[in-house]
């Protein structure tokens, strides 16, 4: 999971990531993910990334990006009037 502050005008971003979780095939696990909220006044985007690997000779090789997925959980524009 990650939280990002994106400034679309300057095309810049700051992203904070949760810890990496590795699961084996067919492994069922309850997990809790958390991350810091990045500083900034741009768009706040919270997303979940799933990347797949293949085990080759006791090493994990990341698969091509077409095999991965990203899901946007939340997206909102920062409103300085609501800041404390």
Instruction: Tell me how far apart the alpha carbons of residues 79 and 55 are, in angstroms, rounded to a whole number.
Output: 45
Can you give the pLDDT at residue 80? 61
Instruction: Tell me how far apart the alpha carbons of residues 79 and 83 are, in angstroms, rounded to a whole number.
Output: 7
- Quick check: pTM over 0.85? no
Can you give the pLDDT at residue 83? 53
Can you give the pLDDT at residue 65? 80
Q: Which residues pair with 83 in a beta bridge?
A: none
Q: How many CB atoms lie within 10 A of CB 19?
A: 9
Report yes or no: 18 and 33 within 8 Å, Cβ to Cβ.
Answer: yes
Provide the residue-wise pLDDT of the chain in tens; the chain has 84 residues.
Answer: 999 999 989 999 999 999 988 888 888 889 888 889 898 888 999 999 888 888 888 888 888 888 888 889 988 886 666 554
| Tokens standing for residue 3 | 């939280």
């Amino acid at each position: 999971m990650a939280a990002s502050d994106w400034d679309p005008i300057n095309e810049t971003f700051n992203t904070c990531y949760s810890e990496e979780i590795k699961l084996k095939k067919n492994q069922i696990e309850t997990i809790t993910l958390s991350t810091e909220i990045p500083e900034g006044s741009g768009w706040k985007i919270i997303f979940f990334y799933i990347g797949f690997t293949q085990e080759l000779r006791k090493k994990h090789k990341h698969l091509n990006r077409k095999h991965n997925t990203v899901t946007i959980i939340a997206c909102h524009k920062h409103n300085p009037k609501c800041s404390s």
